[in-house]
Amino acid sequence: MTSHIHPTALVSPHAMLDENVSVGPFTVIHDNAQVGSGSRIDGNCELGYPTPLAEGLPLIIGRDSVIRSHSIFYQGSAFGDGLVTGHRVTVREKTVAGKGFQIGTLADIQGHCQIGHYVRTQSSVTIGQQSQIGNFVWLYPGVLLTNDPNPPSNDLLGVTLEDYVVVAVKSTLLPGVRIGRGSFITAHSLVGQDMPENSLVSGSPAKRLCKASDMRLNGDIRIRAYPWQKRFVRGYPDSIIEAWASGNLDISFQSEELEP
């Protein structure tokens, strides 16, 4: 099936669109953009926004992606299959993300960062430059990953979030902080120091209260809240759900060359 491009869209003849791609009204796709098969680009989007900071690298959007209206993706970034965005998303150059990345409405990804597979971010999340995010990470509304220890400066220190980390509503992580695998950061926390894996982190300034795996579900203390993947699987591929059910939380992904 050939691609469907709305007559008001402006698609460069040098852009690369695979089969069965739809492009909505008034969307602009620049020369240096590649869109995988089965993807949907809604109206008033801009893909491959040119910037010298991309050093000539293309924008790569994987297969079966959905980019909703008024979203802007700069050239020089690469995304695996199944990218899904909300509305009015901004993604700067040299952002590299794996499969199944979900970006919430009004999110701002400031570029030059690495993001793993099946990461989910909700509305108004800001991911600063040099951030390093593992697989299966959750960032809830209003989360801020900062990167400048002496603002304003050029000495950027990105936040690192290991696999399965959950950061709750309106928490702020300060430059260079590393959060260990499977940790949970409660709402409105201000985190300024590294935390080991499996930590329940809370407060301003935040402290480690106990193991995240010690938490129980609100309303049913018989059930452990963490690791969360033992009780919540909605929207993940069957192969991953089966691995979690068998107790395998160390899921490996085939190496994919996502660098543009």
| Residue 251 within any structural domain of the chain | no
* Residue-level pLDDT at 2: 63
Look up the CATH number of the domain holding residue 182.
2.160.10.10
- Using only the alpha carbons of the chain, give its radius of gyration: 19
Contact (CB, 8 A) for 106 and 121: no
| Separation of CA 87 from chain center | 14
- The SS3 of residue 152 is coil
Q: Is residue 96 part of a domain?
A: yes
**pLDDT digit string (tens) for 71-87?**
999 999 999 999 999 99
Query: 222: which 2 tokens?
Result: 């018989």
The Cα 175–Cα 148 span in angstroms is: 6
Is residue 259 assigned to a domain?
no
For residues 59-71, one letter each, b for 16 or more C-beta atoms within 10 angstroms of the residue's C-beta and e for the rest, the string is: bbbbbbbbbbbbb
The answer to the question of residue 257 being in a domain is no
In a domain, 250, yes or no: no
For residue 152, tell me if it sits in a domain.
yes
Which run of H or of E encompasses 160?
strand 160-161
Task: Look at residue 39 and tell me if it is in a domain.
Answer: yes
Total domains, the chain? 1
Percentage above 90 pLDDT, the chain: 91
Domain contains 131: yes
Q: How far apart are CA 216 and CA 185, in angstroms?
A: 15
Structure tokens at 200: 């329940």
Q: How confident is the model at residue 256 (pLDDT cuts 50, 70, 90)?
A: low
Between the alpha carbon of residue 7 and those of residues 34, 70, 113, the distances in Å are 19, 17, 35
Q: What is the pTM of this model?
A: 0.94
Amino acid in position 139: L
Q: Domain range holding 215?
A: 4-245
